[in-house]
Amino acid sequence: MTLSRLFSGVLVAFGLFALFVIWALTGPVGAVVAATLTYLLLRTCERQQDAQMALARKTRAEDLHRAFRGDR
């Protein structure tokens, strides 16, 4: 899990750097494109985090349910 988080962080950093390069090379149009792509990248990261949190909640609920019933 830690390795995937590290890889994800490096991937996001390279993505943001690439967006900056697009903005720097193309001017105002590139700024709009870079802003849009940055927004989409951040939304994707938020959705991934939300999915991980939902999975953790589901796992915890299942564990509590099993503990309440006495199953192992």
pLDDT band at 1 (very low <50, low <70, confident <90, very high): low
Contact by Cβ (8 Å): 41, 16: yes
CA-to-CA separations, 68 to 54, 56, 63, in angstroms, rounded: 21, 18, 9
In this predicted structure, the answer to whether residue 64 has a pLDDT above a threshold of 70 is yes
Alpha-carbon dihedral sign for residues 62, 65, 69, 72: positive
This prediction has a pTM of 0.52
List CB contacts of 22: < 8 A, sequence separation 6 or more. Answer: 30, 33, 34, 37
Contact by Cβ (8 Å): 16, 22: no
pLDDT at 11: 80
pLDDT tens digits, 4-54: 777 777 888 887 788 788 778 888 887 788 788 888 888 888 888 888 899
